[in-house]
Amino acid sequence: MTERQPIEGLYSVQRVTYANEDTGYAVVYLVPADRDTSVGFTAVGAFGQPRTGECFRIRGAWHRDPRHGLQVKVESATPETPRSLTAIERYLSGATIKGLGPHYAKALVEHFGAETFHVLQGGGERLEEVPGIG
């Protein structure tokens, strides 16, 4: 990547390095939302209160910080509902839902697929269908 090269796409927060509650400024490590990979990049900008697993549609440009190196300076970061199975699993594995870690997130997504959010929003009666949960 070269400095000032634009970047745009849907990414999942893999790690929140820093977040300022008052200003919404954050430093996060992002990975492509639709791919099962841990290879991503550091992004800085206004994310509000980002959480691990949360998806953002970002627009920005590569920037070389003298102290921290190559990173993306975000112009806009819009939260979006995860759509791909990989993104849904990351979202559920993150700090978003208390008590639901990677193991159960994987089991839910494997069982319900793209309907996972719909099942969870429906009150959770169907969770008993999932081996190891019900």
What would the CATH number be for the domain defined by 6-80?
Answer: 2.40.50.140
- 53-65 residue pLDDT tens: 999 999 999 999 9
**C-alpha–C-alpha distance, residues 47 and 74, integer Å:** 9
Domain boundaries, the chain: 6-80, 85-129
- 64-116 residue pLDDT tens: 999 999 999 999 999 998 888 988 888 888 766 777 888 888 999 999 999 98
pLDDT of residue 97: 72
